[in-house]
Chains A and B, each alone.
Chain A
Amino acid sequence: MPEITDVENEFIREEIEEYLEQPNEIERAINTFSQISSAMQEIAAALIDGDHHTVDQLTSTALEEGTDALEIMDDGLIAGMSIVGIKFRENFIFVPEVLACARAMKAGMAYIEPILSASGIEPVGTVVMGTVKGDLHDIGKNLCIMMLRGAGFVVHDLSVDTSEDEFIDAVEEYDADLLGMSALLTTTMPNMGKTIEAFIDADLRDDVKIMVGGAPVTQEFADDMGADGYGKDAVECVELSKRLLAEDDEEF
């Protein structure tokens, strides 16, 4: 089994030693980073550092040198972002720093996305996001959208005060894999449940995974209203999206 000393990049070694605490996460990180090329480790390090100029430059160079776009996305960008997610979850870093990392991710994805789509590779997933009817709050939802786009998802933003029909129409129109609903008020939160019921009535519930979030929302409410998942912040939203898509793949 690889050891921490097998991770070549010093910055990443230090990140793992300093910020990762759970044995399974340490093991996974060491496994990942000991197996990827030094160029990809550098991209991941720049991303963790929130340095979008360097990510931009390194991604461009790697592509010129013939590195596969998928490899850059998985081994450089996504691997780096996984460390960022853990640091945020454990309160080592704060919202603006996560946003800086998302911007760095986006700088890399700007090169990767056109190449992937030109070669017929589908985006990671398509998500429809919106704040529910009667609710005008959108800061948390917008953070989720930034993070999802950074992670390679195509996101259609329905903005605020979104009716059941608007959610249904958008999921239909964009053939979305995922629907994310947000609410900040206890008075509007029940509209998530109503929207889920509208999907059942329209016989579309099985065609889309539904996730919910927002300050008053909890896992318990999410379960009660029949959502497929709940995320407590933007970083969890991305992890949840990936997990729901993976479940989707297993089912078909």
Chain B
Amino acid sequence: MGLDDDSKFITIGENIHTTRVVRRKGKLVNERSNGDEAVRYLDVNKKRRYLVIPEKIKQTQDYQEGRVKHITIAIQSAMSGQGSEADEGMKYLCSLAHRQINAGADFLDLNVDEISVKPEEQQTAMQWIVQTIQSISTVPLSIDSSGIDTLKVGLETSSNHQGRVLLNSASLERLDALDLVRQHDTQVIVTAAGEAGMPQNSDERVANASQIVENALAKGISIGDIFIDPLVFPISVDAEFGNHCLDAIRVLRQRYGNEINITGGFSNVSFGLPSRRLINDVFINLAVDAGADSGIIDPVTSKIQNVLNIDQGSRPYQLAKEMLLGSDLYCKNFLRAYRKGELQMQKQVKGEE
């Protein structure tokens, strides 16, 4: 199928999410001359700045195992509300928002679930992040939480000023989220999760997604406000997981026509594998070919124009595609090529076809 010339891929920028990590050994984490360890970034004026990793974070297991939860650090620092630390946290978040918008994000997804296990603290953080990002964003927000009360706080705090907000997400196990959608006049992501479990194949995805879509339509939500997420599972776990998602996209597009939106957290597909960006980008292409017109993605690394213009004839693309379509059991060929250094995509020269 693919995108028509006049239809646009809707990018839901996923980067403001408290689970996100950078590697301590990676290039972005530097030791400063005063001994502070900090995450390097460019602010909105392209000036290099440093988000200092607080002592408290260094006690956590994530940090000790080499993962720096930079979004959590920025939110916690900024929310503390005082001094240069708070200022730096705020600048960091602004920079993240701007970079995603500049890269073409149509929504900024906000998820603060991992800020705390306490629902009250999650809700306070949601309220704060919505106010903060809304005041600097030129695109609408996508309010994302696994807790319905946190979603509610997010929607109550947000406005449809920059365009209508997106709720992420409703499903058969969480039908009451659809009432929030009506109440706040938002758009909504509906997932293919079942009432009692995750879908095991494409048929269950289609059945669950159809049922939640019918529920949404019955509540008076218009079809163009619905984004279906068929649920993307890692190809490292089962060679058929890619097809489960892609087949469901094809059937759902056929069933609901062009008005409905079909999206997905496509980067899940590469969990447990190296060269994740290549895998993600190839999967986005396959999903678009199947009928998806949106993605919950990192717009900075997977800038959609570049993703859709990727060289589909290249060997790395073909290897990833074969793996994603289920014909590379245990990802053997893909990993062999990875080890031989054969997965590097040639940089496309501007102006060249």
Residues of B within 8 A of A62 (CB): none
Interchain CB contact under 8 A, B198 and A136: yes
Interchain CB contact under 8 A, A95 and B122: no
Q: How far is the CA of A243 from the CA of B19 in the complex (A)?
A: 29
Number of chain B residues close to chain A: CB under 8 A:
32
A-binding segment of B127-135, B181-189, B233-241, B243-251:
B233-241
- Contact of A190 (CB < 8 Å), options: B117, B145, B193, B233: B117
Q: Is A200 an interface residue (CB 8 A)?
A: no
Interchain CB contact under 8 A, B272 and A218: no
Interchain CB contact under 8 A, B173 and A94: no
Residues of B within 8 A of A143 (CB): 237
Shortest A107–chain B CB gap in Å is: 14
Residues of A within 8 A of B147 (CB): 186-187
- 28 pairs, A vs B, C-beta closer than 8 Å: A95-B234, A95-B237, A95-B272, A95-B273, A96-B236, A96-B272, A97-B330, A97-B335, A99-B236, A100-B332, A136-B193, A136-B197, A137-B198, A139-B233, A139-B234, A139-B237, A142-B237, A143-B237, A160-B197, A185-B113, A185-B146, A186-B117, A186-B147, A187-B145, A219-B61, A220-B60, A220-B61, A232-B65
Interface set of A (CB-CB < 8 Å, partner B) = 50, 94-97, 99-100, 136-139, 142-143, 159-161, 185-190, 215-216, 218-221, 232
Chain A, residue nearest B193 (CB): A136
Tell me the residues in window 138-195 of chain B with beta carbons closer than 8 Å to chain A beta carbons: 145-147, 173, 193-194
Residues of B within 8 A of A136 (CB): 173, 193-194, 196-198
Interchain CB contact under 8 A, B114 and A186: yes
Interchain CB contact under 8 A, B196 and A96: no
Known: A138-B198, A139-B233. A96 touches B331 (CB 8 A): yes
Interface set of B (CB-CB < 8 Å, partner A) = 19, 60-62, 65, 113-114, 116-117, 119, 122, 145-147, 173, 193-194, 196-198, 233-234, 236-237, 271-274, 330-332, 335
Chain B, residue nearest A185 (CB): B146
Residues of B within 8 A of A189 (CB): 117
Known: A136-B198, A187-B113, A218-B62. A94 touches B272 (CB 8 A): yes
Chain A, residue nearest B338 (CB): A94
Known: A94-B331, A95-B273, A161-B196. A186 touches B234 (CB 8 A): no
Chain B, residue nearest A143 (CB): B237
Q: How far is the CA of A136 from the CA of B237 in the complex (A)?
A: 17
Q: How far is the CA of A97 from the CA of B122 in the complex (A)?
A: 37
- Contact of B146 (CB < 8 Å), options: A142, A186, A219: A186
Shortest B100–chain A CB gap in Å is: 23
> Which of A95, A137, A189, A190 has the most chain B CB atoms inside 10 A of its CB?
A95
Considering the complex of A and B, which 8 residue pairs feature the smallest CB-CB distances, nearest first? A95-B272, A95-B236, A96-B331, A185-B146, A96-B330, A187-B147, A100-B330, A218-B61
